[in-house]
C-alpha cells in the first residue's frame, strides 16, 4: 500500500455532531468566539468509522479480520467489558489459541491496524501507533449556535390518586440543548505506509476506511448530532512513502465567505453554498509526478467550483 492524504468534507443540519462537555454541551470551539468556527475531534470521526464497521461486520466479515476492538460492550450483568475481555471475545470468535494479544488484534481487528491501540492487561502490554491519523474537522465558516428548550410529553413519575387528589408529576420534563441550523466541515487525514507495515494495515483496509468515512457519517445517528451528509472525499496516494503535500484543507474555500455567516441571511442548506476546489486542483496538478493515484467521491447535491484531476468514484 501507499502513503497518502485524505480530505473529507461533510455537512450537518439541525444538530451538533461533537459537543463540548466542559461548555454545557455546546459546540467545541478551539479557535475562540471571535473567530467563530467550531470543530469536531478526531475521536468523534474515528467513532463514526468504528461504529459503521461494527454494524456492517458484527462477525468480523468473510475473512474474520474486520472486528472492532475499541467498542462499548457490556456483560450479562450490565457492566462494561475491559480491554482483556474484549480481546478474549475476539480470540474466541476467530478460534485463536495463542496468548499473543498484539498478534491477534493486528490480525483480526480493523481499528487496531488502522488507528493503533494501547493494551495493558495482566502480564501483557503493548502500544501500537496507527498509520491513520485524522486532524480536527473545522467548520469552513463562522457558526452561531442556538440555545433551545422543549418539553418531554412523558411524565418523569407515575401519577397516583390519593383521597381523590392526583399526586406526582402531571407533566413532562423540560429539556434544553444547543443546536445549529447548518454547517460545513473539512477534515484532513494522513496514512503512513511505513507504520502500516508494522500494524498490518492493507490496501483493502484503506478502501474500508474510506467507505466507513462516507457511510459511517450517515450511519451514526443520535438526536442531538443532527442530520449529517458526506459531501467530498479526496484520497491521494504518493509514490514516495516519505513524501506528503500537506494541508490540503487550506486549498478549499466555501462560498459565501465569512461576512455572510456573520451578518444578513446565513446559508441554511447545501443549495446556498459552493465549494471552490480550484486551488486544490492546481496543487494536485503541480505534484502530479509525485502522485501514484488520486481518487475522488463527490455528492451530487454539492455545488463545486473548479476541478481536481482525480479518478471520480461511484458513491457507496
| Model pLDDT for residues 89-108, shown as the tens digit of each residue | 999 999 999 889 999 999 99
Kindly list the distances between the CA atom of residue 69 and the CA atoms of 41, 51, 83, 274, 286, in Å, as whole numbers in the listed order. 20, 11, 8, 39, 40
Closest CA to 52 of 208, 204, 166, 172: 208
pLDDT at 79: 87
pLDDT at 155: 66
Distance CA 238, CA 131 (A): 15
User: How many CB atoms lie under 10 A from the CB of residue 134?
Assistant: 22
- Dihedral class, residue 56 (left if φ above 0, else alpha if ψ from -120 to 50, else beta): alpha
Residue with the bigger pLDDT between 24 and 94: it is: 94
**134 pLDDT tier (thresholds 50, 70, 90):** very high
Stretch 201-205: mean pLDDT:
98
**16 pLDDT tier (thresholds 50, 70, 90):** confident
pTM here is 0.90
Sort 122 into a burial class: Cβ within 10 Å, 0-12 / 13-18 / 19+. exposed
Any residues with CB less than 8 A from the CB of 312 and at least 6 apart, and which? Answer: 296, 297, 298
pLDDT at 224: 65
Residue with the bigger pLDDT between 228 and 19: it is: 228
| Model pLDDT for residues 32-70, shown as the tens digit of each residue | 888 999 999 999 999 999 999 999 999 999 999 999 999
**176 pLDDT tier (thresholds 50, 70, 90):** low
**278 pLDDT tier (thresholds 50, 70, 90):** very high
Percent of the chain scored above 70 by pLDDT? 90
User: How many CB atoms lie under 10 A from the CB of residue 75?
Assistant: 9
Stretch 227-231: mean pLDDT:
94
Amino acid at each position: 500500500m501507499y502513503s497518502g492524504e485524505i480530505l473529507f468534507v461533510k455537512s450537518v443540519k439541525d444538530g451538533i455532531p461533537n459537543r463540548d462537555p466542559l461548555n454545557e454541551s455546546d459546540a467545541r470551539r478551539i479557535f475562540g468566539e471571535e473567530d467563530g468556527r467550531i470543530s469536531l475531534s478526531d475521536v468523534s470521526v474515528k467513532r463514526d468509522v468504528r461504529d459503521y464497521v461494527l454494524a456492517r461486520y458484527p462477525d468480523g466479515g468473510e475473512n474474520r479480520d474486520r472486528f472492532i476492538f475499541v467498542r462499548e460492550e457490556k456483560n450479562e450483568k450490565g457492566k462494561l467489558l475491559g480491554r482483556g475481555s474484549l480481546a478474549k471475545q475476539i480470540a474466541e470468535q476467530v478460534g485463536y489459541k495463542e496468548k499473543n494479544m498484539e498478534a491477534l488484534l493486528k490480525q483480526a481487528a480493523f481499528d487496531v491496524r488502522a488507528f493503533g491501540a494501547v493494551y495493558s492487561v495482566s502480564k501483557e502490554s503493548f502500544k501500537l501507533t496507527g498509520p491513520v491519523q485524522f486532524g480536527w474537522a473545522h467548520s469552513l465558516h463562522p457558526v452561531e449556535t442556538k440555545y433551545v428548550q422543549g418539553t418531554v410529553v412523558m411524565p418523569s413519575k407515575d401519577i397516583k390518586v390519593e383521597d381523590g387528589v392526583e399526586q406526582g408529576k402531571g407533566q413532562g420534563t423540560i429539556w434544553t440543548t444547543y443546536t445549529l441550523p447548518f454547517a460545513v466541515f473539512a477534515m484532513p487525514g494522513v496514512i503512513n505506509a511505513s507504520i502500516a507495515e508494522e500494524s498490518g494495515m492493507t490496501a483493502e483496509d484503506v478502501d474500508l476506511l474510506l467507505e466507513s468515512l462516507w457511510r459511517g457519517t450517515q450511519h451514526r445517528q443520535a438526536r442531538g448530532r443532527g442530520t449529517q451528509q458526506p459531501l467530498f472525499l479526496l484520497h491521494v496516494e504518493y509514490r514516495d512513502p516519505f513524501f506528503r503535500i500537506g494541508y490540503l484543507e487550506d486549498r478549499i474555500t466555501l462560498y459565501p465567505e465569512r461576512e455572510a455567516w456573520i451578518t444578513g441571511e446565513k446559508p441554511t442548506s447545501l443549495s446556498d453554498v459552493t465549494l471552490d476546489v480550484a486551488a486544490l486542483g492546481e496543487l494536485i496538478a503541480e505534484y502530479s509526478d509525485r502522485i501514484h493515484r488520486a481518487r475522488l467521491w463527490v455528492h451530487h447535491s454539492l455545488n463545486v467550483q473548479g476541478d481536481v484531476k482525480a479518478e471520480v468514484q461511484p458513491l457507496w
